[in-house]
Amino acid sequence: MLPQKNRLKHPKEFKVVYRTGITRKTSHLILRGRRREENSQVAKSGERSQAEAEGKEFYQPTRIGIAIAQKVSKRAVIRNRIKRRIRAGLRELLPRIEAGWDLVFIVRPAAVECNYRQLLQELEQLLAKAEVLNGDSRRDLL
């Protein structure tokens, strides 16, 4: 699982990303991404002022959601397997992802035939296309 602070949880958060975000596509996945503004709900809370008082740099963690429709597979077992693989890949890539983004990964029906290595490669490719990765985006993780 991704840490709580790195999850998109509510449908309205997904809708904001769909409505105002950028789109990048590969053969098995679609990435919708949106950089959050400084005055978002997280920044309004006391976390920002507390971090500034302690002399620490305040940042908003990147939040990630995964959307997979029944169109991909009627079997929940298969859909859940794909989600687990995507989450595992994102856990590996999370330290390299810039802070302050809301990202939604949409799974295409072709992803059913995908193995973990292909998904990991496509995740990194999408994040590099969207210019969300820190550091060397061409580094081979496999």
Tens digit of pLDDT per residue, the chain (142 long)? 888 999 999 999 999 999 998 999 999 999 999 998 764 454 445 555 554 555 455 678 999 999 999 999 999 999 999 999 999 999 999 999 999 999 999 999 999 999 999 999 999 999 999 999 885 444 444 3
User: What predicted TM-score, i.e. pTM, was given to this entire model?
Assistant: 0.80
Indicate the Cα dihedral angle 19, 24, 26, 27, nearest 10°. 30
> What residue type is assigned to position 77 of the chain?
V
Annotated domain spans of the chain: 4-129
The structural architecture, per CATH, of the domain 4-129 is 2-Layer Sandwich (3.30)
Q: Distance between terminal CA atoms of the chain?
A: 21
